[in-house]
Amino acid sequence: MVYLVRSKDDLDQQLAQAQDKLVVIDFYANWCGPCKVIAPKLEELAQLYSDRAVVLKVNVDENEEITVEYNVTSMPTFVFIKGGEVVELFVGGNSDKLAKSMEKYVGEVVENPDQSIRGHSSSHLGGGASLNDSEVDSISAGPSATSGNSCDVGICDLGDRDPGRAVPEAKGAALEN
């Protein structure tokens, strides 16, 4: 199950309750096309690893304090936390990388043949093609049909949102992936 974070206090509570489980935070926006494309894969992985991982979603437009704390400027951004420390961060709608990163931190899973992650045909990414390690870290999901934004490289920048809304200034250094 994917949990929608409502506030900074809510996030802090979820992180404390996770204890020694892997925590994956998905920073997304409602207007971000690549965020919408990868959402079903994230839900699938959350169910597959539910006994060893907690998956949280943070809407960047509704939780700017958290967005600034993690220095998020593009979506989707996935932050992996284990034992209270950020162990990995990557930006972009690459479902294969998301699956491999989760597997790396939670260990092997005895897979149900109907829920295979390895070699998974990512049909919701378009074309039914499987991604592999040699392919780029972000996929082209096309612009959001409802937003008119140009998020066409698997990543949306905060600057692509409503032009009347200011981008918060980041506090601290950027995290490296």
Q: Which of 101, 155, 110, 100 is nearest to 130 (CA)?
A: 100
- Measure CA of the first residue to CA of the last residue in the chain; give whole Å: 25
Distance CA 62, CA 110 (A): 37
Residue 40 identity (one-letter amino acid): P
Maximum distance among all alpha carbons in the chain? 49
Active site residues: 32, 35
- Sequence-distant (≥ 6) Cβ neighbours of residue 1 within 8 angstroms: 46, 47, 50, 55
Q: How far apart are CA 153 and CA 170, in angstroms?
A: 23
